[in-house]
Structure 1
Amino acid sequence: MFALDPRLEQDTLPIGDFPLSRLLLSNDSNYPWFILVPRREDVSELFQLDVADQLQLWRETTELAETLKDSFDADKLNVATLGNVVSQLHMHVIVRKRDDAAWPAPVWGKHPAKPYSVDEVTFIRERLRSVLTNDFTFLEG
């Protein structure tokens, strides 16, 4: 049974589900920072997914990245799986702008997280609702 790592659960806001992955929003309004977590048990590395799931994760990552680039007018997208702190496989998709708090450095550890307001989260959810495909299910919240 799939369970979200407690650290991801603590530091993110649930947005919805693609066919394979749960989409989370990092609760740091310094950057539009999204995280895809494949809903598979005991997977910490990409190669541990079967080939079909690897391809699906890439499709979901690509769709999300394209959506975010357009919706948030990104100058650059950072896409990565690291897992040094949270071993559960997860894909970061971070919108970067030349005027963001850490540009051009990586976002990790640069500034304390600035939590989103309820209105900001609602705005992001509505922005995504208008552009994500029919194979995405929004979670309430």
Structure 2
Amino acid sequence: MTDAFQLHPRLQEDCILVGAFPLCQLLLMNDSQYPWCILVPQVLGLRELYELSPEQRQQFTEESCYLAQQLADLYQADKMNIAAIGNMVPQLHIHHIVRYQSDKAWPAPVWGKFAAVAYTPEQLAGRLGELRGALVGLRN
């Protein structure tokens, strides 16, 4: 991690900071239609996962798998969608989306299907409380 790390402006605009793990910032996508988190390694200039050092890749894998398991358990997911697209935001960021067979985009990917529905203040407080309570080791 470096002091010069800056979150891409689009991620700042579309997401809420939940906290940080040793390597990654954890963001919540401001779309109440899905429990949708994003991990962003706090390393300057990253565009691709292979650009992480071997130690950072191992740490990222641990954080990603931990997050996915906790989200799946907390929200009783039918499926976890984990993806790094990066066509619109070049900074390396990995989406972790809880999916249900009953969600409005199923079985298609969530991208571009429906406009985001922002959390209300009450919904956001509840979601952040759930996430922060479930994720041991997350720093606020």
- Taking structure 1 as the reference length, the TM-score comes to 0.94
Percent identical residues: 45
Counterpart among 63, 78, 81 of residue 66 in structure 2? 63
Paired with 1:104 and 1:77, the residues of 2 have a C-alpha distance of: 12
| Structure 1 consecutive aligned stretches of length 4 or more whose deviation exceeds 4 Å | none
Name the SS of the counterpart of 1:85 in structure 2.
coil
Superposed CA RMSD: 0.8
2:89 aligned with 1:89, yes or no?
Answer: no
Paired with 1:103 and 1:46, the residues of 2 have a C-alpha distance of: 27
Counterpart residue identity of residue 138, structure 2 = F
Paired with 1:66 and 1:99, the residues of 2 have a C-alpha distance of: 20
Unaligned runs of 5+ in 2: none
Unaligned runs of 5+ in 1: none
Name the SS of the counterpart of 2:115 in structure 1.
coil
2:130 aligned with 1:127, yes or no?
Answer: yes
Alignment of 1:90-129 (within 5 A): 90-129=93-132
Aligned length: 137
Deviation by residue 1:85-138 (Cα, 9 ceiling, x = unmatched):
1010011000001111200100000000000011111111221222211x2112
Counterpart residue identity of residue 117, structure 2 = K
- Taking structure 2 as the reference length, the TM-score comes to 0.95
Partner of 2:138: 136
